[in-house]
């Protein structure tokens, strides 16, 4: 898996592949569940999830954070909707009201397509605070991103997602 992530994230910048050096198959928090797709060429796609409480403008909300998403470069364009459909029954079994994730603004068009089918909602204008992976004496312990927030309704409708301008992950990004 670590090699898969290095190859998947490396083309987007060496810094993005660095957290997967050695045999480490996660970048921040360890996933609770992994969906891994294989084909005759090896690992084709991966998605991890982690149940956690996030805070939205100070109010706690149980979610399953979706992250560590990757698809082999020769399969790009074929995978995220299939991956979400595969993990949806797992999310329902875990009893979470929402799946939650963040993506870079550069991926807005890619994930917005999924929102048109009602699978998820993409929200912008929300800041997300995360604990840094590694504690450094010369850096603050958290980072704030202006990422796009992806909300996947599972046990409750999207209309129940709390309004707010700041999400605190209460930990490292998955």
- The pLDDT assigned to 117 comes to 65
The per-residue pLDDT for 155 is 92
Give the list of residues 6+ apart from residue 84 with CB closer than 8 angstroms, or none: 47, 66, 99, 114, 119, 120, 152
Q: Is residue 132 in some structural domain?
A: yes
Structural domains of the chain, count: 1
Low-confidence ranges of the chain (pLDDT < 70): 13-15, 77-83, 114-118
- We report the CATH number of the domain holding residue 110 as 3.40.630.30
Distance CA 66, CA 79 (A): 14
Predicted local distance difference test score (pLDDT) of residue 105: 78
The pLDDT value recorded for residue 15 is: 67
Domain-embedded: residue 173 = no
Domain assignment present for 174: no
Beta strands 59-71 and 142-145 are: unpaired
Q: What's residue 162's pLDDT?
A: 94
Whether residue 90 lies inside any domain: the answer is yes
pLDDT of residue 26: 75
Quote the CA–CA distance of 156 and 99 in Å, as a whole number. 10
In a domain, 56, yes or no: yes
pTM over 0.75: yes
Domain assignment of residue 72, yes or no: yes
Domain range for residue 158?
1-168
């Amino acid at each position: 898996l670590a090699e898969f992530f290095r190859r998947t994230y490396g083309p987007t910048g060496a810094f993005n592949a660095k957290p997967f050096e050695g045999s480490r198959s996660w970048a921040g928090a360890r996933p609770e569940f992994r969906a891994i797709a294989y084909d005759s060429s090896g690992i084709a796609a991966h998605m991890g999830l982690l149940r956690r409480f996030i805070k939205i403008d100070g109010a706690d909300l149980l979610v399953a954070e979706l992250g560590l998403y990757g698809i082999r470069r020769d399969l790009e364009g074929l995978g995220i909707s299939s991956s979400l459909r595969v993990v949806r029954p797992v999310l329902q079994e875990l009893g979470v009201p929402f799946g939650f994730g963040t993506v870079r603004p550069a991926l807005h068009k890619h994930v917005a397509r999924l929102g048109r089918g009602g699978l998820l909602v993409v929200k912008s204008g929300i800041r997300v605070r995360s604990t840094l992976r590694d504690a450094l004496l010369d850096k603050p312990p958290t980072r704030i991103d202006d990422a796009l927030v992806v909300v996947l309704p599972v046990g409750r409708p999207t209309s129940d997602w709390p309004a707010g301008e700041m999400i605190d992950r209460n930990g490292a990004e998955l």
